[in-house]
């Protein structure tokens, strides 16, 4: 089940562009007509101006509500309406985009950044192979294709055969192959289709031998795993079909696991696991690789607190989908490793905040969990069974290392990785002689390796051919002290020439700090273009993430959320004090929960920053729980309708805490019309409030993508254009310049 954590959270990973295995009309005509009308009728207002441009007019309503004795104004609530349903919101979007596009088009470095990002991205990229029967399935992008294609080989060195080409699915490249799963023998391929960046999925099946699609189609799947039951059908999760007009904003309840039998219509799918008495629960199914057990993981919100139930598939004929609960109470994290017969293995933080490996034998009358690998200082992120051994993936100070041990927990050997970076994969089946893993870092795109599980020897499966030398860039890990004295790690990446000069340069700082998500080293062509131009990049591992286990997460959520902002501010001050960042040349960036981070920190310390980029952020902390997946986020944020939580949320909500009379940095807000994770109304309202406030003459703009969502599935061209816009914007305000010949200079 690829990307289970991201799916289970109802939240995308914070760094867009990571490899993913995982019915909307275009707004072009609507927006074009709205723009024509707006240019004819709109008049400028003095809501806040840039040097040569005026923000579009935005209507203010007299909405004031009283919450726990405090009057809360919400003049831009009308911007919460679905842009597909509201001509007035569509018109506002068109006018804002026109101003933003005009401004960005005038930035002299935009074209150069776009060209260089395109050149850097133009390398062959592979996904991790998945073996089923004698077939190896994997994704590949030749370089600049809008979407990666899916290939299969018969045998490790067989001739590649193209199975799926998402680039033929939509003329704009915005329909993507999301998750995929071959059947046990590799005869069929189950896959999910994502359109326009939405979280909704359509599930389809391909006959691998013939290459022909089956007629099977499952709609309204969302936050789902994909798991085969033999070759006869598969388990998946979905919500009921939404009411007309509510698909992209309505709250989601009654998540249910179904079984779909190949060759039958969706209307005949069988309910496998549901909790009608608890419509807020979510359920994800996974079948053990020997096909014996279906494991159901149940969650309540975004917290890693689960219940686990199992269904004995060998007894399905006599017992149906009868489930047996083996973990109850929603108190701990349970990360499924694998099963064999009635044995199960899990990574858990029960009685071990930094995780341990445990097993259970369900054939016993009163089975109990047995510890195989105890808790260590490092975080045990995941484990996998390959052959007759266990591969353990650890994280130390947000960087990866791995080792192999016996199934009985006996010590084995360490897997040597290539420096500071992120290792992923290590999947396989009991009895397999091999496993595959990927390794990447800030200066090195993912390379795929095959490891002989018996000898530990590795060989490249796919290594990228690059137009730059990774050795030209240095990756350091530093530590700084936050406001309360907490020691916080941060990665600093610079060109070696820049590092040797030992003087401050324009710097981009990225952060997230929430939902138990760990930020680890990874490659981005956009970031490399920034580094190549002479800038520095820093990534801070803030509290609220999962870099140091349960305590680190707890220290940055709900009543402790201010710690995240304090950490980010302290990281900013460290970069300036250490002579890495120019005092007037520091930009910050974050997406999703990181967009909230940027908005909150800019309100608290606008003096620190020259520019800020807030992407698909949660900006109205008093109403986030009223839309789509927002109800899940109360685990990290708290409940707006509870007074104690309301007071905390009110204190940092970006939309409600803009400070008039203070000069703000240049701000670029980005969102997308089809973001049904963090609905774009958050960004619309926040931008309108920025533009109406007396916060100085620097630009406060919004970039609204069409036929895109929260980040996943975005075609290559759109990713390049967005990256170029962001880099050109922050370069303008941090003082980084590139001449037409590509030479770097500073203002």
Tokens describing residue 403: 């080792």
Asked if 505 contacts 581 with a C-beta cutoff of 8 angstroms, the reply is yes
Q: Is 90 helix (H, G, I), strand (E, B) or coil?
A: helix
Token couple for 631: 């109800």
Q: Are 490 and 541 in contact (CB under 8 A)?
A: yes
Does residue 75 come out as left (phi exceeding 0), alpha (psi in the -120 to 50 range) or beta? alpha
The CA radius of gyration of the chain, in Å to the nearest whole number, is 25
What 3-state class would DSSP assign to 246? coil
C-alpha dist (Å) from residue 227 to 2, 12, 131: 10, 21, 15
Number of Cβ within 10 Å of residue 207's Cβ equals 13
Residue 279 CA from chain centroid, whole number: 25
Q: Where are the beta strands (DSSP E) in 399-545?
A: 399-406, 413-415, 422-427, 434-441, 444-452, 458-462, 473-481, 487-495, 505-510, 536-540
Residues with Cβ within 8 Å of residue 381, at least 6 apart in sequence:
347, 355, 393, 394, 395, 400, 518
From the CB of residue 407, how many other CB atoms can be counted at a distance below 10 Å?
A: 16
Count the Cβ atoms, other than its own, within 10 Å of residue 684: 27
Contacts of 133-136 spanning 24+ positions with Cβ under 8 A: 133/184, 133/185, 133/186, 133/187, 134/186, 135/182, 135/186, 135/208
Answer for the pair 345, 385: CB distance below 8 angstroms, yes or no.
yes
**Rounded distance between C-alpha atoms, residue 297 and residue 319, angstroms:** 20
Active site residue 592: yes
Q: Of 518, 592, 653, 712, which residue is the catalytic one?
A: 592
Q: Which of the residues 283, 343, 710, 712 is marked catalytic?
A: 710
The verdict on whether 710 is a catalytic residue reads yes
The answer to whether 352 and 388 have CB atoms below 8 angstroms apart is no
Query: Does residue 699 sit in helix, strand or coil?
Result: coil
- CA 220 from chain centre, in angstroms, equals 21
Q: Which residues are catalytic?
A: 592, 710
């Amino acid at each position: 089940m690829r990307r289970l954590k991201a799916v289970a959270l109802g939240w995308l990973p914070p760094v867009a562009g990571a490899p993913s295995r995982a019915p909307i009309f275009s707004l072009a005509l609507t927006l074009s007509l709205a723009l024509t009308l707006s240019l004819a009728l709109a008049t400028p207002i003095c809501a806040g101006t840039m040097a040569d441009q005026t923000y579009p007019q935005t209507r203010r309503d007299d909405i004031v509500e009283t919450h726990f004795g405090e009057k809360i104004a919400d003049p831009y609530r009308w911007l919460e309406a679905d842009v597909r349903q509201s001509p007035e919101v569509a018109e506002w979007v068109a006018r804002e985009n026109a101003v933003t596009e005009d401004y960005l088009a005038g930035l002299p470095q935009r074209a150069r950044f776009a060209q260089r990002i395109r050149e850097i991205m133009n390398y062959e990229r592979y996904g991790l192979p998945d073996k089923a029967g004698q077939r190896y399935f994997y994704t590949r992008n030749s370089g600049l294709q809008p979407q990666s294609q899916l290939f299969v080989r018969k045998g490790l060195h067989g001739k590649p055969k193209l199975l799926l080409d998402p680039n033929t699915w939509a003329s704009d490249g915005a329909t993507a192959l999301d998750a995929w799963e071959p059947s046990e023998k590799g005869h069929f391929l189950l896959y999910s289709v994502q359109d326009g960046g939405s979280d909704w999925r359509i599930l389809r099946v391909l006959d691998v031998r013939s290459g022909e699609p089956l007629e099977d189609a499952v709609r309204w799947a969302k936050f789902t795993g994909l798991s085969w039951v033999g070759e006869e059908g598969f388990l998946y999760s979905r919500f009921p079909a939404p009411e007309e007009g509510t698909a992209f904003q309505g709250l989601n309840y009654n998540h249910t696991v179904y079984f779909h039998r190949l060759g039958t219509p969706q209307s005949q799918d069988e309910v496998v696991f549901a909790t009608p008495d608890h419509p807020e629960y979510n359920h994800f199914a996974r079948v053990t690789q020997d096909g014996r057990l279906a494991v159901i993981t149940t969650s309540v919100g975004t917290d890693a607190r689960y219940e686990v139930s199992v269904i004995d598939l060998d007894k399905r004929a006599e017992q149906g989908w009868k489930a047996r609960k083996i973990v109850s109470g929603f108190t701990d994290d349970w990360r499924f490793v694998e099963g064999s017969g009635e044995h199960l293995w899990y990574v858990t933080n029960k009685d071990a905040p930094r995780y341990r490996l445990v097993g259970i034998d369900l054939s016993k009358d009163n089975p109990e969990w047995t510890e195989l690998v105890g808790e260590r200082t490092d975080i045990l992120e995941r484990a996998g069974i390959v052959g007759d051994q266990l591969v353990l993936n650890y994280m130390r100070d947000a960087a990866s290392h791995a080792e192999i041990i016996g199934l009985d927990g006996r010590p084995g050997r360490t897997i040597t990785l290539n420096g500071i970076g992120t290792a992923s994969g290590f999947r396989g089946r009991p009895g397999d002689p091999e496993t595959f893993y990927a390794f990447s870092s800030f200066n090195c795109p993912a390379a795929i390796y095959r490891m002989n599980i018996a000898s530990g020897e590795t060989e490249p499966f796919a290594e990228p051919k690059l137009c730059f030398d990774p050795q030209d860039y240095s990756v350091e890990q530093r530590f700084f002290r936050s406001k309360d004295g907490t020691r916080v790690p941060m990665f600093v990446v610079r060109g070696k020439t820049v590092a040797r000069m030992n003087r401050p340069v324009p710097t981009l700082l990225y952060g997230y700090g929430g939902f138990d998500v760990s930020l680890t080293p990874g490659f981005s062509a956009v970031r490399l273009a920034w580094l190549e131009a002479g800038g520095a990049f820093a990534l801070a591992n803030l509290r609220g993430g999962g870099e140091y286990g349960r305590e680190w997460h707890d220290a940055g959520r709900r009543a402790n959320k201010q710690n995240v902002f304090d950490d980010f501010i302290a990281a900013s001050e460290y970069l300036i004090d250490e002579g890495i960042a120019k005092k007037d040349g520091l930009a910050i960036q974050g997406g999703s929960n990181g967009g909230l981070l940027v908005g909150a920190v800019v309100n608290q310390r606008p003096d620190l920053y020259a520019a800020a980029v807030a992407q698909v952020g949660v900006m109205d902390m008093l109403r986030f729980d009223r839309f789509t997946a927002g109800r899940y986020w109360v685990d990290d944020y708290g409940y707006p309708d509870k007074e104690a939580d309301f007071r905390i949320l009110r204190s940092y909500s970006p939309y409600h805490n803009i400070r008039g009379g203070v000069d703000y940095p240049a701000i670029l807000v980005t969102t997308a019309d089809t973001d049904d994770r963090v609905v774009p109304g958050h960004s619309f309202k926040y931008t309108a409030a920025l533009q109406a406030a007396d916060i100085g003459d620097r630009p406060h703009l919004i970039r609204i993508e069409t036929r895109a969502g929260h980040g996943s599935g975005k075609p290559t061209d759109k990713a390049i254009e967005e990256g170029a816009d962001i880099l050109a914007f922050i370069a303008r305000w941090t003082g980084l310049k590139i001449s037409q010949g590509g030479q770097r200079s500073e203002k």
